[in-house]
Structure 1
Amino acid sequence: MQKEDVARLVTTPLDSPAYAPTRYRFTHREYLNIYYRTDPEALRRLVPEPLTVAEPVVRFEVMRMPDTTGLGDYTEAGQLISVEHEGERGEFNLAMYVDSVPAISSGRELSAYPKKSGAPRLYVDSDTLVGTLDYGTLRVATATMGYKHHALDLDAARAEVCAPNFMLKTVPHYDGTPRICELVRTRITDVTVHSAFTGPARLELFGHALAPLADLPVREVVRASHLVTDLSLNPVEPVYDYLAA
């Protein structure tokens, strides 16, 4: 392989890349979102400056992605925190648990999605939409929502999907010191909402040392949504460099 060919590599292994080098398009991407109030002090311990906690609200999400260009069929779950940056409201993506190696690798390498391995599921149980997350053999989250109880305004649903998303991008030097340490921002702008519903919802979180979702305890469920969308992801842009501060 010539040097110029090596320089064009996006990811490794050399002869079997960890993910497809393409812009990812999601078809019929399905969301279960549970918004809940939590302990404000717990949020302040986790949200990194220069972000501020907008309100003590967390979104637990389970996303079913059956048809994704370049990544195939997989599911994710995670927690996002309501934050503000320079007057703009958005969400800080705290953690994502994913059942796909290509999705984990591409999310971390190409962008800044805080992905690690987990086993989420999203399915309908009779009249109930159910989202679960297992870490190893243990159940760490169970979310339930009444299935298609009330139609949700499509513009409100689109606003949920298109909220600005903030994440931390960290890449170490070979000696273990930080090489890149940035706060980045992205926002979905290309989205079609096929259906949107809301209904009664509950969320149970269970303590785990390596999947500490319960460190942000559920005080009150604020609202819930069930969305089916088509969308594309946009690249991230840095908004704060911790190493230059």
Structure 2
Amino acid sequence: MQQHDIAQHLATPLMNPAYPPVIPRFTDREYLNIVYRTDRDALRAVVPEPLEIDEPLVRFEVMRMGDVTGYGPYTEAGQAIPVRYDGERGEYLHAMYLDNFPATASGREAGAYPKVAGSPALYVDHGALVGVLDYGTVRVATATMGYKHHELDPDEAAAQITVPTFMLKLVPGFDGTTQVAQLVRTEISDVVVKGAWSGPARLQLFEHVLAPLADLPVREIVSVSHVLTDLTLAPVRPVHDYLAR
């Protein structure tokens, strides 16, 4: 392969890249969202400046991807933190665990999503919508919600999932120093809400040294939603450079 051909490739391995060169379209993406109140000091310890915190809230999410362009179906769980940046309200993605390696690799490399391997699931059990997350063989989160107890306004549901998203893009150099350190922004577009519901919910987080969701403890459930939607993720763009002089 000639030198000028190499730069045309997206990812390694060179002849069998870990993920495809696509902008993914999500069809039948199903959310279980539980917004809860946590400890303010715990949030301050993990939210990077210049992001700002108003209320000490966290959104725990489990998402079942019914079909994704280039990746197929998979499931994902994690925590997002409501924040403000330069006067704009959004969410900081704190942690994401999923069961699909191409989606994990592309999220980290092509974007800045804090994705690691995990075993999440979203299913209905005896009248409850259940979201769970295992790390290895250990349960680290269990969420339950009354299944479709109350219909939720589609516009309200769309507003919940389309707030701007902020993440950290960190890339080390071969000498161990940081080559890239950026705060980046993305958002969801082309949303079609196919159904949305609310109801009673509970959330348990269990301590694990490598999956520290419980470091943001549950103090009070604030709001709950179950949303079925189609959507597209926009590419990320940098908004703040931590290495700029």
Into which bin does the TM-score normalised by the smaller protein fall? over 0.9
CA distance in 2, matches of 1:116, 1:213: 13
Alignment of 1:126-165 (within 5 A): 126-165=126-165
Mapped partners of 2:92, 2:63: distance in 1: 17
Which residue of 2 is the match for residue 34 of structure 1?
Answer: 34
Distance 2:94 2:161 in 1: 17
SS of residue paired to 2:54: strand
Write the letter of the residue equivalent to 1:184: V
Task: Give the Cα separation in 2 of the matches to 1:140 and 1:193.
Answer: 29
Task: State how far apart, in whole Å, the 1-side matches of 2:69 and 2:82 are.
Answer: 29
Residue number in structure 2 paired with 1:93: 93
Aligned to 1:10, the other structure's residue is in SS state: coil
1:99–1:118 Cα contact (<8 Å) kept:
yes
Shift of 1:21: 0.8
Task: Confirm or deny: 8 A CA contact 1:144 1:201 kept in the other structure.
Answer: yes
Aligned residue type for 1:83 = V
Query: Is the 1:34–1:60 Cα contact (8 Å) retained in structure 2?
Result: yes
Identical pairs, percent: 64
Question: What are the Cα deviations for residues 83-131 of structure 1, in whole angstroms up to 9, with x where unaligned?
Answer: 1111111110001001010010000011000000000000000210000
1:33-182, aligned counterparts within 5 Å? 33-182=33-182
Q: 1:183 aligns to what?
A: 183
CA distance in 1: counterparts of 2:27 and 2:126, whole angstroms: 25
Distance in 2 (alpha carbons) for counterparts of 1:154 and 1:66: 19
Q: 2 CA distance for matches of 1:64 and 1:189?
A: 18
Task: Tell me how far apart the structure 2 counterparts of residues 65 and 5 of structure 1 sit (CA, whole Å).
Answer: 34
In 2: Cα distance, 1:14 partner to 1:163 partner = 35
Q: Post-superposition, which runs of at least 4 consecutive aligned residues in structure 1 deviate over 6 A?
A: none
Please state whether the residue corresponding to 1:214 is helix, strand or coil: helix
- Give how far 1:59 is off: 0.2
**SS of equivalent residue, structure 2 residue 108:** helix
Asked whether 1:231 is paired with 2:242, we answer no
- Tell me the CA shift for residue 189 of structure 1: 2.0
Aligned partner of residue 52 in structure 1, secondary structure: coil
Using the alignment, how far apart are the partners of 1:8 and 1:154 within structure 2? 41
Report the residue type matching 2:139 in the other structure.
R
Deviation, 1:4, is 1.9
Q: Deviations over 1:28-81 (max 9, x none)?
A: 000000000000010011110000112111000000012100011111000001
| RMSD of aligned Cα (Å) | 0.7
Distance in 2, matches of 1:10 and 1:228, equals 31
Aligned partner of 1:15 in structure 2 is 15
| Equivalent position amino acid for 2:126 in 1 | S
State how far apart, in whole Å, the 1-side matches of 2:232 and 2:117 are.
Answer: 23
Distance in 1 of aligned mates of 2:17 and 2:72: 15
Corresponding residue for 2:24? 24
- SS of the residue 1:70 aligns to: coil
Gap regions ≥5 residues in structure 1: none
Distance 1:185 1:233 in 2: 11
Q: CA deviation at 1:183?
A: 0.3
Could you tell me which residue of structure 2 aligns to residue 203 of structure 1? 203
Whether the 8 Å CA contact 1:54–1:89 is kept in 2: the answer is no
Report the Cα distance in structure 2 between the residues aligned to 1:124 and 1:92, rounded to whole angstroms.
Answer: 29
Offset of 1:3 from its aligned partner? 1.6
